[in-house]
Structure 1
């Protein structure tokens, strides 16, 4: 099997079947939770009433995102391991992974800061960290798209894709 086809096949069925990896589905949980946490922060800052409901909501959404990201990372690692080392695709995968790990660390720091301050008011520092982390997450998502759509990692071969257009 050549390097190109090797990167299309799952190393384990746990990573998802051929042409349908689980990692892209799993990342929707942390992305959604973290984006929602920023929305909750904005509502808390704009609220003239009880902002603690929304600041606490942001706190728990960040935790949900962290847990979801760890799970998604395990599936992403399985996909990374099928990419031949020394290739541009593998280097892109490593950069994607490093960026995502940095995002998770930023959200863990954010979570700890918020835990220390309590829920009574929205965290300005936490909000800024969230915005920085989401910007980095956007860059990492672009790299993930490059892996799938440009390099075809874990994407079905063109022969398989043609079946859908007959």
Structure 2
């Protein structure tokens, strides 16, 4: 039987803000910055492959901005999920590292947006330095995502307990034989 701290980490601190039991908002919200930032790297690379790269450089800059805004929203909800984890546990330490990496990634992308927005904004292909910062920052985000997966799939943070999960494996009414 799971320990009490394990059960505590499954419950939302605030269901209205962090999502109800078994349906946390944080995993939903992280798709916005991840998608925006991956898209920005694709645009950065593509800006070196086309004759008129301005629209791709501008698009990458605005995708970075969308990602930063989405990351801030995800961070607020993720912080609530972190509060549900008992301190002094491996799960809490993993959560702190996950949060720290995400804050560094968000700060890096915010700085990248300002760098790109400086002066008249982007024109021409994205600079090599900006492209490298984007790629390295995205790699750090991948490490943080791995830790987020560890929190959910290994430690079960904000995941329904096994008894609740078992409901999904009962025969459905449509499949059960009735005389």
Flag the structure with higher helix content.
1
Q: Deviations over 1:100-141 (max 9, x none)?
A: 001011101111111125221223221111101100000000
Equivalent residue for 2:133? 129
Equivalent residue for 1:139? 143
Question: Normalised by the size of structure 2, how large is the TM-score?
Answer: 0.90
The structure having more radius of gyration, on CA atoms, is: 2
After the TM superposition, which parts of structure 1 deviate over 2 Å for at least 4 consecutive aligned residues?
none
Equivalent residue for 1:17? 20
Structure 2 spans left out of the alignment, 5+ residues = 171-179
Q: Deviations over 1:57-112 (max 9, x none)?
A: 00000000000000000010010000000000000000000000010111011111
2:118 counterpart SS class: helix
- Following superposition, the deviation at residue 2 of structure 1 comes to 1.3
Equivalent residue for 2:155? 151
Equivalent residue for 1:41? 44
Q: Deviations over 1:26-45 (max 9, x none)?
A: 00000000000011111111
Distance 1:24 1:59 in 2: 24
CA RMSD, 1 decimal: 1.0
CA contact (8 A) 1:55 1:123 kept: no
Given the alignment, which residue of 157, 160, 165 partners 1:161?
Answer: 165
Equivalent residue for 1:84? 86
Structure 1 spans left out of the alignment, 5+ residues = none
- Following superposition, the deviation at residue 46 of structure 1 comes to 1.1
Distance 1:129 1:109 in 2: 10
